[in-house]
Structure 1
Amino acid sequence: MTRSAQVTGGLLAAAGGVAIAVQARVNGSLAQSLGNGLLAALVSFAGGWFVLLAVVLTRQSGRDGLSRLRDALRRRRIRWWECIGGISGAVLVGSQGLAVATIGVAVFTVAVVIGQVVSSMVMDNLGVGPGESKPFTKTRVAGAAVGVIAVTVAVSHQFTSPGTLWLAVLPLIAGLLMGWQQAVNGLVREAAAHSMATILVNFSVGTVALSLVNAVTWNGVPGAFPSAWWLYLGGLLGIVGVGGAIMSVRFIGVLMVGLCAVCGQLIGAVLLDAVSGHLALPTVIGVVLTLVSVGVAALPNGKMRT
């Protein structure tokens, strides 16, 4: 793998992270307007799904990508459970609605990142994603640890009463699933040989999962949907976020995708906070530490002794 390909992969993952940071703010505002976080998540996912459906089905290359994926499933070159990575997104947004109000955004964020970093390292070590397996090394473990510390520092000024900390298990599970999602989405991309078709599969699974959750927890139609157009951009931002991970994982591996995406999320948070006039020093320090974690994890090193 060339250095330029690795840099491109890192930039794609970071761009996806920035999109996810903006998406979180947009979806949070939509949830507040609707008074229903799960419904807001469904609106976001479904919006992205409709856009992807139109783009993929109206292009011959997109239809060919879906055909290749169907053929790969039929020939068992890829397994069905490797095509349901989109359920991770549904779990993440569902846990937001269930846990954030109690444990706070800071604890939630740290729990997600810990789960994501651990899962990403395991996926790389097992070789679940596309490309060669990447065994545990001292530099990769150190980079992952610095990444977790970076996020903790970045959100430290937001910590309030932790409430019932056992609820942090929910975002921890969501983070663990994110590492797996990035790995299997890379496999789907290889089978389909088409990024947009892969993202469509991801969004289809997430939309179905959120539809089922909303059906079970349905509290009625909200009085009115907000008129602000930007509140409905969450789906498009999600496409960029998922697409960045899908296109970069074959270049840099699952762990580096996770660290670069976290870096992008923190950069996005800095930009949003700067625009709103609420920029905090810990967030800036967190961005710097995350950049350090990416550099450390990328350093060559031998396998760890066992």
Structure 2
Amino acid sequence: MSSTSPLPLILSLPLAVGTGLAIPVQGRITGALGAELDDGLAAAVVSFSVGLAVMVVVTLVLPGGRAGIRRIAPALRERRFPRWYLLAGCLGAFMVLSQGLTVSQIGIALFIVATVAGTSLSGLLVDRMGLGPAGRKAITARRIASAALTLVAVAWAASPKFSVDAGGLWLLLVLLPLAAGFLRSFQQAMNGTATVHYGTPLTATLINFAAGSLALWMAWLVKAAVAGTGNPLPSEWWYYLAGPMGCMFVIFANILVRSLGVLLAGIGMIAGQLLGSLALDAWFPVPGTQLAAATVLGTLLAMAALLLATVPAPHRRAGLRSPAAEPSGTGAAPRP
């Protein structure tokens, strides 16, 4: 099986959940680095830059990575996908930037709910438009219910941690993560499509980190010129793990959207994110963290939403089919 071949459902669903498990850990590390530097934007720059360095090394060392680099120019020359797909990493950078600008004002719980709301809505749209490598997917009642149930689950799980103290500006601040979440599905679709034409997720991930790093460096340079720089970089090695974890997340996300579609891959990673947050709060809590019943029940509801989107709808028995639904003489079954 090639690196761009769709994975079986029995493998891709657990992988989506496992990929989501890394998100809260990465967020914890980036948040700690931002506090150490007294500059959340600088922490995002460090994370993306370290991730870019890792991807450069991996791409040059692995034969598949070098082959993918050679496929970039032909893919662009032959217009196998729109050239603006190269800017997918800027959408990821916008997500990180919106977190740095709003979380301190509206709280991480409301930030998560806003991004999930945007991702759930755009996941349906992106799949319906067929922008991802899995092609067009119909907007069915089951998929709408699954996306809505996921949003309810995240809101329920995060409800004990809501902290909105931004006064009358809170609604305006919520629009940033809402927009970032809406753009996340487009980023995943763009990266997934590029992965198919490069023949490896390594190349799409490399370009993703290059574009995102460039955007973040430009934003940080403007910020530094206006407000100055923060504290010097810390010496502890674990502060720099967020970048490599981000590399793994983007690589697996590129594979998963090929197998599951944008919406279902997103739901699986959201379920993993809730499970990871639950585990961190239970075993490695930060000061002031309490594991509430709503968090546990919301996590279970998110898993139910994942099952709702993946369990196939029951079909009629063969003896009850109408004549129009019978296979043609060629032996090929009609498309559902």
Cα distance, 1:280 vs. partner? Answer: 2.6
Where do residues 1-306 of structure 1 align in structure 2 (5 Å cutoff)?
Answer: 5-163=8-166, 164-218=170-224, 219-277=227-285, 278-300=290-312
SS of residue in 2 equivalent to 1:132: coil
Range that drifts further, 167-176 or 291-300? 291-300
Q: CA RMSD in A?
A: 1.8
- Which amino acid counterpart does residue 258 of structure 1 have in structure 2? G
Cα distance, 1:287 vs. partner? Answer: 1.4
Cα distance, 1:3 vs. partner? Answer: 11
- Which amino acid counterpart does residue 21 of structure 2 have in structure 1? V
Deviation by residue 1:260-288 (Cα, 9 ceiling, x = unmatched): 01011111111111112443322211211
- Which amino acid counterpart does residue 64 of structure 1 have in structure 2? A
Cα distance, 1:299 vs. partner? Answer: 3.6
Distance 1:50 1:276 in 2: 29
Q: TM-score, with normalisation over the residues of structure 2?
A: 0.86
Deviation by residue 1:9-32 (Cα, 9 ceiling, x = unmatched): 222222221111111110000000
Gaps of 5+ in 1: none
- Which amino acid counterpart does residue 293 of structure 2 have in structure 1? L
Deviation by residue 1:131-189 (Cα, 9 ceiling, x = unmatched): 23111001000000100001001110011235222110000010011010111111011
Report the count of equivalent residues: 301
SS of residue in 2 equivalent to 1:230: helix
Q: TM-score, with normalisation over the residues of structure 1?
A: 0.94
Deviation by residue 1:91-130 (Cα, 9 ceiling, x = unmatched): 0110111111111111111000000011111000111101
Gaps of 5+ in 2: 315-336
Q: Which has the larger radius of gyration?
A: 2
SS of residue in 2 equivalent to 1:50: helix
- Which amino acid counterpart does residue 307 of structure 2 have in structure 1? G
Q: Quick one: higher RCO (CA 8 Å, sep 6+), 1 or 2?
A: 1
Distance 1:162 1:148 in 2: 22
Cα distance, 1:228 vs. partner? Answer: 2.0
Deviation by residue 1:216-236 (Cα, 9 ceiling, x = unmatched): 111434343222211110101
